[in-house]
Chain A
Amino acid sequence: MTAWSLKARILSDSLLSNLDPVSLARVIGAAQEVAYQAGETIFRQGSPADSVYLIQSGIVCLDLPSGRQVTALEGRFGEDAICDIPRYICTARALSDIVVIKCPLASFPNRNTLAREFKANTILSLGSSLAADNLAITDATPSKQPALASSTEIIGWFMCLLVPIFLYQQAIINLLPKQVAIFLALLSAGLIMWVFRLVDEFIPPLILILSALFIGLVPQEIALSGFSSSSFITLLGVFALSQAISSSGLSYRFVLWLLKKLPNRPIFQETALLAAGYSLSPISPSANNRLALVLPLFRDMRESLSLQKTNRSATALMAACFSGSMLMAAMFATSRSASISALEMISVQVRDQFSGIYWFAAAAVAALVLTLLHFVFTRWLFFDSTQNQLSKQRITEQLGVLGKINNREIVAIVCFFLFIIGSSTVSLHHINPAWLSGLVLIILLLTDSLSKDDFQKKIDWPMLVFLLGIDCLTRIMHHLGIHNLLSNYMSENFNFVHGSVEIFVVTALGITCALRLILPVTAGMLVACIMLIPLAELNGIHPWICVFLSALFSDIWFFPYQCSSYMQIRSAGLHHEFNESSFLIYNRLIDMGRVAAAFVSLPYWRWLGLL
Chain B
Amino acid sequence: MSRLSTIEIKILFLFGLVALLSYFNSDKPRIFILHSSDPDIAFVQEFDSGTLRSLANNRLPISLKRHYLSLNRVHHKRDEVIKRTMAMHALRQFDPNLVITFGEDSNILISQVYEKQQRPDIVYSGILNPNDYYKSSSNKKIFGVRGGVPLDALKELLTEIYRDQTIKVSVVGRDNAAARATLKEISSYSWSQFRVQKAALFLYFDDLKSFIQSANQSDTNLLLVLNYAGLRDATTDEEISDREVVRWIESNSKSLPLGLQRNFVSDGASLAIEASRHEIGRQTMQMALDWLQSSRSRDMTPQSSINKHFDVAMRQDLLEKRGITLPMIFIEQARRSGQLF
User: Which residues from chain A sit less than 8 Å from chain B, CB to CB?
Assistant: 146-149, 153-154, 157, 160-161, 164-165, 175, 177-179, 182, 189, 207, 211, 214-217, 479-481
Contacts and interface: CB of A to CB of B under 8 A. Distances in A.
Interface string B47-79: 000000000000111110000000000000000
B41 interface: no
Contact of B9 (A153, A165, A182, A479): A153
B7 A146 contact: yes
B61 A148 contact: no
B60 A149 contact: no
B6 A149 contact: yes
Contacts of B20: 161, 164-165
A148 B10 CA distance: 12
Interface of B: 3-10, 12-13, 16-17, 20-21, 24-25, 28, 59-63, 297
B3 A161 contact: no
Given A217-B61, A480-B59, A182 B10 contact: no
A479 B55 CA distance: 13
Nearest to A185: B20
Contacts of A179: 59-61
A215 B59 contact: no
Contacts of A165: 20
The main secondary structure of chain A at its interface with chain B is helix
A148 B4 contact: yes
The 3 closest A-B pairs by CB, nearest first: A146-B5, A161-B16, A149-B6
Contacts of A161: 13, 16-17, 20
A523 B7 CA distance: 25
Contacts of A217: 61
Contacts of A160: 13
Contacts of A216: 25, 28, 61-63
Given A148-B6, A182-B24, A157 B13 contact: yes
B5 A211 contact: no
A177 B9 contact: no
Nearest to A175: B297
Given A153-B6, A189-B17, A216-B25, 8 more contacts: A147-B6, A147-B7, A149-B6, A178-B60, A179-B60, A179-B61, A207-B17, A214-B25
B16 to A, nearest CB: 4
Contacts of A147: 5-7
B10 to A, nearest CB: 7
B3 A148 contact: yes
Nearest to A147: B6
Most chain A beta carbons < 10 A, residue from B4, B7, B24, B62? B24
B61 to A, nearest CB: 5
Contacts of A157: 9-10, 12-13
**Interface SS majority for chain B:** helix
A211 B10 CA distance: 16
Contacts of B3: 148-149
Nearest to B23: A215
B60 A154 contact: no
A480 B61 CA distance: 10
B13 A182 contact: no
Nearest to A211: B21
B9 A154 contact: yes
B21 to A, nearest CB: 5
13 contacts: A146-B8, A147-B6, A153-B9, A157-B9, A161-B13, A161-B17, A175-B297, A177-B59, A178-B61, A182-B61, A189-B17, A211-B17, A214-B21
Nearest to A214: B21
Nearest to B56: A219
B24 A215 contact: yes
A175 B9 CA distance: 33
A582 to B, nearest CB: 39
Contacts of B24: 182, 215
Contacts of B6: 146-149, 153
B305 to A, nearest CB: 24
A147 B9 CA distance: 11
Contacts of B10: 157
A219 to B, nearest CB: 9
Contacts of A146: 5-8
Contacts of B59: 177, 179, 479-481
B5 A149 contact: yes
Nearest to B7: A146
A480 B4 CA distance: 38
B34 to A, nearest CB: 21
A178 B62 CA distance: 11
**Which of A149, A179, A481 has the most C-beta atoms of chain B within 10 angstroms of its own C-beta?**
A149
Contacts of B63: 216
Nearest to B55: A219
A164 B5 CA distance: 23
B60 A177 contact: yes
A148 B60 CA distance: 41
A215 B8 contact: no
Contacts of B28: 215-216
Contacts of A189: 17
B4 A149 contact: yes
B296 to A, nearest CB: 8
B298 to A, nearest CB: 12
A157 B11 CA distance: 10
A33 B47 CA distance: 75
A480 B20 CA distance: 20
A133 to B, nearest CB: 41
A215 to B, nearest CB: 5
A173 to B, nearest CB: 12
Contacts of B62: 216
Contacts of B13: 157, 160-161
A161 B17 CA distance: 7
Contacts of B12: 157
A188 to B, nearest CB: 12
A141 B9 CA distance: 25
A216 B59 CA distance: 10
A148 B4 CA distance: 6
A161 B28 CA distance: 20
A161 to B, nearest CB: 4
A479 B9 CA distance: 33
A211 to B, nearest CB: 6
